[in-house]
Chain A
Amino acid sequence: MATQTQLVADPKSDPVVEQKLRKLRELYADAPEVGRVALENGLSNLKRELAAATGTQNAGRIGARQGKVSELTGVIPFAKGGAKRLRGLLQALEGNFRGGDAVGTLHDMRFVFLDNDTKLLFATAYDGDWDAYIDDFVTKIPDAMDLLFCNIEGWPGIHSPSAKDFIAKHQIAAEAWYVANPNLTVAETRRLERVGKAVEELLDQIE
């Protein structure tokens, strides 16, 4: 992480960085000219980034994680009539996901309809391991889960013991995952919002 970046005093002398650069030059040898030029122009910045790399982490069974924030991405075929139903449901909600608030680990959710409404691209950023709370979803918000996912082909129902495997099966691990604030969970962000507000109020009183 950040502290390790500072340990690398001179990236030029780092054989790992040099090795990575050689590899990139090979890869970009057949790139369009703008790409080749960009590689050489941006060399000093790129070297710093390569020297700071700390390796990727896994999020539970599948997916990438940075610090406490994980990603889940899936491209999943719709069930018959599923695209129409889900679009109708999402439009009715007008982007208002109370259930998402209650879950307390979801940073965002993205629903993109692909290939003439035959497939759903679902992408979310969330805290921790994805399956830690899946059993809680089953007893606390089973209807919300089934309402969304019944539109997916082959959804076994949230009560099925195979629901976890079904989700994992459709998940595609992201090739790369960047998070600006990897240690800020949803709960921590809300806490800091409260603390920040309280501090400002306190300062108002001192003024």
Chain B
Amino acid sequence: MSSVKEPAVGRPSAQAPTLDLHEIQATVLRQRPAPYFGAHVLLHVDDARAGRQFLRRLAPHVDSAAGWRIAANAWLAVGISHSGLEALGVPRESLQSFPEAFREGMAARARQLGDEGVNDPKNWDPPFGSGQVHIGVTAFSDSEEKRRRAVAIAREQWENFSGVRLLAMQNFGAQPGDLNPLGYKDGIDQPAIEGSGVEPLPGQGPHIKAGEFILGYPGEAGVSLPMPQPDVLGRNGTYAGFRKYQSRVGAFNRFLHAHGSTEEERELLAAKLVGRWRSGAPLTLAPDVDDPALGADPRRNNDFGYSNDPGGRQAPLGCHIRRMNPRDTELTRLTDVNLHRLIRRGTTYGPPYDANALSEEGDKVPRGAYFLFISAKAMATIEFLQQEWINDGNFIGIGDERDPIVGLQEEGATFTIPKEPVRRRVHGIETFNVLRGGEYFFMPSLSALRWLGELT
């Protein structure tokens, strides 16, 4: 149909894969292409029989991870919420075998997630948090044309019969340079999964046991997580936390201008917040000036640790990437950093970042990111990250400070930039990315999709 294309990142490893790649959804291993184009589709199942028929028809179009390297076409990922499993008529014993946080749903877990204030589910965009979102389908592709074709294929499966209804559709991607809504190259650091057959990139660290990311395999503790039952439903499945953020680009730019009088000062501050320059070049390797060639090179842009920077003079202790993956940073609490990683599929929507947007109008432009956070214990991991690594600074010994990019900031919040002879403490940091919605999805294996489709 179209030319075979190398994905943006990833090479096969010398070891043959040991996971059932033919069973696992492609999105778990396949990186976002560059450039990327896609759409998120949220569906409601009015009638169990129609819902199951939809899954039966859709299943052949969902790629497996066996071909993670080669994406000839757009590919679809499918997730089903707990209320979706109910609507499909999944037996009660099966429903009860899912983890509590998944059964309750993301909105009901607001306390554990710290989703309060502006991030409170009562402020979310419909249809999030209403219990109406049953099935999420995401199409990824490397061209606008393929995206349209993939969405058309998905649409054909629900349009010609009643019982499955479209709630919302959101296109994403197509930003120049694939920059995120605040103007950074993102999605660089991903966990390496043992047995996947994907070679880790330099700095990606040793492989993490597959059971952390895919159900049915031993995790880091040497045992498998409990799986949803029956076995065919749970094995080779995983979970995705889906979170929609709106970026307050005006507030972000005003903050940079308030604390940087020149372009250079503002760009350095922007880099200190994230731990990388906008190009993707890490401060640890390029502490003083940006190095765009470094940022663009996947074999170099993640190849570092923090052992030479224990105090954060290069990459501040509280910067975004050091929080999300502290690597070898000494933490104040007994922590196994391999247990709190997520496969991230970030997808930017709306107009691209605009460095000149300084007004409050700039905050209201619908632009931001939808994140898919994938893990075999996605609910527990997202709750841990929100509580410990995003909306707190204790774990890294910096008191109450929060993640400057995705944290929910309180009045009078600060961001500390370690420096000689004295640190610089920047005041007036605001919530730059506001949560606009979220759902927990189960991402079934391809066999489980068929099993669900054939329920009676």
Q: How far is the CA of A86 from the CA of B387 in the complex (A)?
A: 34
Chain A residues closer than 8 Å to B336, beta-carbon distance: 135-136, 139-140
Contact indicator B333/A103 (Cβ below 8 Å): yes
Interface size on B, residues (CB 8 A): 24
Q: How far is the CA of A103 from the CA of B333 in the complex (A)?
A: 5
A132-B334 contact given A139-B220, A188-B399, CB 8 Å threshold: no
Interface assignment of A92: CB less than 8 Å from any CB of chain B: no
CB < 8 Å: which of A127, A159, A161 contacts B394? A127
Closest CB of chain B to A186's CB: distance in Å? 8
Contact indicator A102/B387 (Cβ below 8 Å): no
Contact indicator B223/A161 (Cβ below 8 Å): yes
Chain A residues closer than 8 Å to B220, beta-carbon distance: 139
Chain A residues closer than 8 Å to B383, beta-carbon distance: 132
> Dominant SS at the B interface?
loop
Contact indicator A191/B334 (Cβ below 8 Å): no
Q: B92-128 vs A: 1/0 string, CB under 8 Å?
A: 0000000000000000000010000000000000000
Contact indicator B387/A128 (Cβ below 8 Å): yes
Q: A39-80 vs B: 1/0 string, CB under 8 Å?
A: 000000000000000000000000000001000000000000
> In A151-207, which residues have CB < 8 Å from any B CB?
159-161, 185-188, 190-191
For B212, give the chain A residue with the smallest CB separation: A135
> In B303-345, which residues have CB < 8 Å from any A CB?
331-336, 338-339
A135-B221 contact given A103-B333, A141-B334, A190-B332, CB 8 Å threshold: yes
For B399, give the chain A residue with the smallest CB separation: A188
Q: How far is the CA of A161 from the CA of B387 in the complex (A)?
A: 22
Contact indicator B397/A187 (Cβ below 8 Å): yes
Q: How far is the CA of A137 from the CA of B225 in the complex (A)?
A: 16
Closest CB of chain A to B325's CB: distance in Å? 15
Interface assignment of B395: CB less than 8 Å from any CB of chain A: yes
Interface assignment of A118: CB less than 8 Å from any CB of chain B: no
Contact indicator B334/A161 (Cβ below 8 Å): no
A135-B394 contact given A104-B334, A159-B221, A161-B223, CB 8 Å threshold: no
Closest CB of chain B to A130's CB: distance in Å? 12
Contact indicator B334/A103 (Cβ below 8 Å): yes
Interface assignment of A123: CB less than 8 Å from any CB of chain B: no
Q: How far is the CA of A172 from the CA of B29 in the complex (A)?
A: 44
For A185, give the chain B residue with the smallest CB separation: B394
Interface assignment of B222: CB less than 8 Å from any CB of chain A: yes
Interface assignment of B388: CB less than 8 Å from any CB of chain A: yes
Closest CB of chain B to A165's CB: distance in Å? 11
Chain B residues closer than 8 Å to A135, beta-carbon distance: 221, 336, 339, 380
Contact indicator B388/A132 (Cβ below 8 Å): yes
Contact indicator B226/A161 (Cβ below 8 Å): yes
Interface assignment of B161: CB less than 8 Å from any CB of chain A: no
Closest CB of chain B to A68's CB: distance in Å? 8
Can you name 15 A-B pairs with beta carbons within 8 Å? A68-B394, A103-B333, A104-B331, A104-B334, A105-B333, A127-B394, A129-B112, A135-B336, A135-B380, A139-B220, A139-B336, A140-B334, A187-B333, A188-B394, A190-B332
- List 8 additional A-B contacts (Cβ < 8 Å) besides A68-B394, A104-B334, A186-B332: A103-B334, A104-B331, A104-B333, A128-B387, A133-B335, A136-B335, A159-B223, A191-B397
